[in-house]
């Protein structure tokens, strides 16, 4: 499933860079689009930064009702978390607007709901001749903790089982 994870992340990262080049994060001295997969980072990387999308991959399983298909599907759960603290200039009173802008960006970068499956373990990445696709994100209710306003979104990513072998 690593090729599916990598392909999903790279697709969203590139879409975010094109949609909002100013949405960046500096992590370990490197500035890049503000989308991170914690499992790919150094364990002691900084705490989650505001206005950054964090992708966490969950369980993998066979997709329901696809076992009889010529090319069965495998599914991977995914959660994307993000938060804002608003801006000090506005006494953090713009948190709702900022969170809504992050929601809009997430919905934009996850559409279209597909990407080419590539093997990024080599350079240049090898096109594997198929695609991955996913459900539209389901946005959970916003949560407030002090000055922080956060949200999580969940979606399911699908790939053809044979593409992973």
pLDDT digits (tens, 9 = 90+) for 42-101: 876 667 899 999 999 999 998 887 767 777 889 999 999 999 987 767 666 778 899 999
Is it the case that residue 9 has pLDDT exceeding 70? Answer: yes
Distance CA 53, CA 80 (A): 6
The structure's pTM equals: 0.92
Is it the case that residue 31 has pLDDT exceeding 80? Answer: yes
pLDDT digits (tens, 9 = 90+) for 98-128: 999 999 999 999 999 999 999 999 999 999 9
Instruction: Domain of residue 96: give its range.
Output: 2-164
DSSP three-state, residue 57: strand
What lies within 8 Å, CB to CB, of 40 at 6+ separation is 9
Locate the DSSP E strands across the chain: 24-27, 30-33, 35-36, 53-62, 73-84, 114-119, 126-134, 138-139, 143-145, 148-160
CATH number of the structural domain spanning residue 103: 3.30.2000.30
Domain count, the chain: 1
Tell me the percentage of the chain whose pLDDT exceeds 90.
73
H or E element that contains 43: none
- Using alpha carbons, select from 73, 77, 70, 78 the residue that is nearest to residue 159: 73
């Amino acid at each position: 499933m690593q090729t599916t994870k990598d392909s999903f992340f790279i697709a969203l990262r590139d879409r975010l860079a094109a949609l909002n080049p100013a949405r960046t994060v500096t992590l370990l001295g490197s500035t890049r689009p503000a989308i991170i997969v914690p499992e790919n980072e150094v364990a002691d990387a900084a705490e989650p930064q505001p206005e950054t999308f964090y992708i966490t991959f969950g369980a993998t399983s066979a997709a329901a009702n696809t076992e009889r298909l010529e090319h069965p599907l495998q599914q991977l759960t995914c959660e994307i978390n993000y938060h804002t603290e608003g801006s000090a200039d506005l006494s953090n009173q713009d948190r709702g607007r900022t969170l809504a802008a992050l929601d809009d960006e997430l919905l934009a970068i996850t559409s279209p709901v597909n990407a080419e499956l590539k093997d990024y373990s080599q350079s240049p990445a090898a096109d594997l001749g198929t695609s991955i696709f996913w459900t539209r994100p389901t946005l959970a209710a916003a949560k407030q903790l002090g000055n922080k306003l956060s949200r999580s979104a969940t979606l399911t990513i699908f790939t053809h089982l044979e593409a992973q072998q």
